[in-house]
Structure 1
Amino acid sequence: MSRENIKFAYWVPNVSGGLVVSKIEQRTSWDIDYNRKLAQIAEKAGFDYALSQIRFTAGYGAEYQHESVAISHALLAATEKLRVIAAILPGPWHPAVLAKQIATIDHLTGGRVAVNIVSGWFRGEFHGIGEPWLEHDERYRRSQEFIEVIKGIWTQDNFSYRGDFYRFHDYTLKPKPLQQPHPEIFQGGSSRAARDMAARVSDWYFTNGNSVDGIKAQVDDIRAKAAANGHEVKIGVNAFIIARDTEEEARAVLQEIIDKADSEAVNAFGDAVKQAGKASPEGEGNWAKSTFEDLVQYNDGFKTNLIGTPRQIAERIVALKAVGVDLVLGGFLHFQEEVAYFGEKVLPLVRELEAKAQTASGEREEATEALA
């Protein structure tokens, strides 16, 4: 188990409809005033990161969206310590534009911005804005080039690059970002191509929600591949968190979310994402095996099972840490009040359990050394 405390991030609700495709009441808003206050609550509660979403077209209950880089900057300006991760789609973004945007924001906010490179799953979105739609593994090849390019721009003068998707000739960006060697680079995905890309070039890998065993298999695969490449990558897992004073209350909320699911929107979303998941050569990409109930939460967040009392959730988080998870990315039903509740009730228990596990690990190491 890592000696570092597990980190926490939350999904920025900069897209309308919240984080579940359901007609249940959600005291959550996509507007900037709500999101500024939420960022301040999350910072006070002990969250390390916020992840803004990127959408270019309306649909699946998400009719309105604020652009990810702009809202990330606004949230950084409203906080002092919180790090904000802007989701980026190669294709709509050119790496030179993105590199310059992020370098500027890094200077304006004291080095707290990061990026999440999203290779793309929604064919209709790309068609809608006139962007070519690449085959599954080609999207990841383009994303890898995108990451290699922004790293090069951020760390080198007179940068040149000759790839299949991007070409640069003696290009120098100044000022470079404050963060050294560069702002953190996150990516997502569950397919072989996604894991392989993370093992080569990304700082962080986000995976959809899953069981502890399912997550462990992905972590072990990525870490082994990264080690073979002389690379290190940290792991974040998606979870929809329902923390209540009793398990019965939490389970009742989950059931109400599913019972009130917007069936038409869930099925339409499911058709699109399952095509994306099955498009990977091995048919194992994100959502390839998700059920209707899983898809009510965009990124299989119910599967991670952070649903119950504060102690139950804290114990499950520490179990995730034990298999190699470095960060939990949380979605909530009523963001402001539930992020505050998580910070007050759950996070202190996580830190307590981490400290106990660390003490026990140290005692075992001492005992082993004494026997040697």
Structure 2
Amino acid sequence: MGMTLPRFGVWAPVHGSRAAHHDPDEPDDASWARNRALVLEAEALGYDSVLVAQHTVNPYDDTRDQLETWTATAALAALTRRIELIAAIKPGLFHPAVLAKMALQIEHISEGRFALNLVNAWNATEFEAAGLPFPDHDDRYAYGREWIALVSRLMQGERVSHEGRHFRVSDLQLRPADPYRTRPRIYLGGESEPARALVADHGDVWFINGQPLDAVRRLIADASARPRHLPPLRFGLSAFVIARETDAEAEAEHARLLALAAEDAGMREASRTRVDPQVVMIRTMARARAVGTNGGTAAGLVGSYATVAERIAAFGAAGIELFMLQFQPFEAEMRRFAEQVRSLLG
């Protein structure tokens, strides 16, 4: 299709289903056993990355299970051989010196395949229930900016002294340093103005929530025009895929999942009461008729195998290099995509 083959990743099912929690074909299973098996299969199928999102409690229903991100990622680092491991991190949960040390250790275990995804948090309840501060949106980004600047320097093996608004570090250096590259890759999400500024200053990859192609083009143009001291920014996109033999079959499956997701209305309404309304992702998703998290099917990867491949190619031409994908039922649809869609892009 005249394009460089993009990278494809999967979202680990850290809190179970990604689209609908009452699907008879999809176990609402967030266990370590399932996540381990799914990531190992994704690697065997040729997927390039896995994103392990971070929540201390299930964001939809705190009586349901939730995988712990950093311990699970460390274990996956020892079990896998090729796939990139991206662990999400909310800065308010870990001091930057502690987190940088953990990141360097997983980088060593994985032999240079580790990345972190900075998320400045949207679920107030998990912080408030633990007695942790949850500042306003822009204050969280100011905190995250100081936090990631320290983490980045520490991961590079620098000897750091710093006194700022939030942190004080005195003559600190972490060893062993990263023997594989300068430091692990940093993914940044968020689409507010503070998020975009932070991406330009500290991110290696901007992780964009699923949305139509024209919106993604505008976001990429905005980010690409900003001054930057790091190498050129790269771009990833979250998307929920529904691919079938025909467009009609895919649309029928989308309708089925939308109907099932409607059964989760009470759960999702309760979840929205715990969300910071200033988060751009939440407002964007509220306007979309979509299933899946982080934009889900709003990216438009719903259709025949050829249709989905063509839309991926269009996003690739716009600058998206990594597609972080969700499916339901996850394992079966992950296999379908690898077998039926990826081959059309080669």
Does the TM-score normalized on the shorter chain lie above 0.5? Answer: yes
Aligned pair partner of 1:266 in 265, 268, 292: 268
Could you give the per-residue CA deviations for residues 211-232 of structure 1, whole angstroms, max 9, x where no partner exists? 000000001001111xx22332
Question: C-alpha separation between the residues in 2 aligned to 1:3 and 1:239?
Answer: 19
Deviation at 1:112, TM superposition (A): 1.2
Say yes or no: does 1:95 pair with 2:90. no
| Residues 3/174 of structure 1: CA separation in 2 closer, same or farther (3 Å cut) | farther
Aligned pair partner of 1:308 in 303, 308, 327: 303
Partner residue, 2:174:
173
Could you give the per-residue CA deviations for residues 266-291 of structure 1, whole angstroms, max 9, x where no partner exists? 223344446132xxxxxxx1121433
SS at match of 1:290: helix
Say yes or no: does 1:287 pair with 2:282. yes
Could you give the per-residue CA deviations for residues 102-143 of structure 1, whole angstroms, max 9, x where no partner exists? 211211221111111110111112111111111111111111
Deviation at 1:55, TM superposition (A): 1.0
| Residues 56/295 of structure 1: CA separation in 2 closer, same or farther (3 Å cut) | farther
Say yes or no: does 1:25 pair with 2:24. yes
Contact 1:266 1:296 in 2 (8 A): no
Higher Rg of the two aligned structures: 1
Structure 2: stretches of 5+ with no match in the other structure: none
Question: C-alpha separation between the residues in 1 aligned to 2:245 and 2:111?
Answer: 38
Deviation at 1:292, TM superposition (A): 7.0
Equivalent residues in 2 for 1:106-145, closer than 5 Å? 106-145=107-146
Q: What residue identity is the alignment partner of 1:275?
A: P
| Residues 240/170 of structure 1: CA separation in 2 closer, same or farther (3 Å cut) | same
Contact 2:288 2:298 in 1 (8 A): no
Partner residue, 2:42:
42
Deviation at 1:34, TM superposition (A): 2.0
Q: What residue identity is the alignment partner of 2:128?
A: H
Q: What residue identity is the alignment partner of 1:276?
A: Q
Contact 1:205 1:235 in 2 (8 A): yes
Q: What residue identity is the alignment partner of 1:313?
A: V
Question: C-alpha separation between the residues in 1 aligned to 2:256 and 2:3?
Answer: 38
Structure 1: stretches of 5+ with no match in the other structure: 278-284, 352-372
Deviation at 1:308, TM superposition (A): 1.4
Please, which moves more after superposition, 214-223 or 171-180?
A: 171-180
Q: What residue identity is the alignment partner of 2:293?
A: Y
Partner residue, 1:367:
none
Partner residue, 1:241:
241
Partner residue, 1:190:
191
Deviation at 1:296, TM superposition (A): 4.4
| Residues 198/59 of structure 1: CA separation in 2 closer, same or farther (3 Å cut) | closer
Deviation at 1:44, TM superposition (A): 2.2
Say yes or no: does 1:346 pair with 2:346. no
Partner residue, 1:11:
11
Question: C-alpha separation between the residues in 1 aligned to 2:140 and 2:319?
Answer: 27
Could you give the per-residue CA deviations for residues 331-369 of structure 1, whole angstroms, max 9, x where no partner exists? 111222211211111112122xxxxxxxxxxxxxxxxxx
Contact 1:241 1:306 in 2 (8 A): yes
SS at match of 1:287: helix
Partner residue, 2:65:
64
Please, which moves more after superposition, 187-196 or 22-31?
A: 22-31
Deviation at 1:77, TM superposition (A): 2.1
SS at match of 2:218: helix
Question: C-alpha separation between the residues in 2 aligned to 1:50 and 1:115?
Answer: 11
Partner residue, 1:275:
277
Deviation at 1:85, TM superposition (A): 0.5
| Residues 297/273 of structure 1: CA separation in 2 closer, same or farther (3 Å cut) | farther
Partner residue, 1:229:
228
| Residues 106/274 of structure 1: CA separation in 2 closer, same or farther (3 Å cut) | closer
Q: What residue identity is the alignment partner of 1:80?
A: R
Contact 2:31 2:65 in 1 (8 A): no
Q: Report the number of matched residues.
A: 341
Contact 1:103 1:178 in 2 (8 A): no
Deviation at 1:302, TM superposition (A): 1.2
Deviation at 1:258, TM superposition (A): 1.2
Deviation at 1:248, TM superposition (A): 2.0
SS at match of 1:326: strand
SS at match of 2:207: strand
Contact 1:209 1:237 in 2 (8 A): yes
SS at match of 1:15: coil
Equivalent residues in 2 for 1:302-341, closer than 5 Å? 302-341=297-336
Contact 2:96 2:151 in 1 (8 A): yes
| Residues 294/100 of structure 1: CA separation in 2 closer, same or farther (3 Å cut) | farther
| Residues 59/151 of structure 1: CA separation in 2 closer, same or farther (3 Å cut) | closer
| Residues 112/329 of structure 1: CA separation in 2 closer, same or farther (3 Å cut) | same
Contact 1:294 1:300 in 2 (8 A): no
Normalising by structure 1, we get a TM-score of 0.86
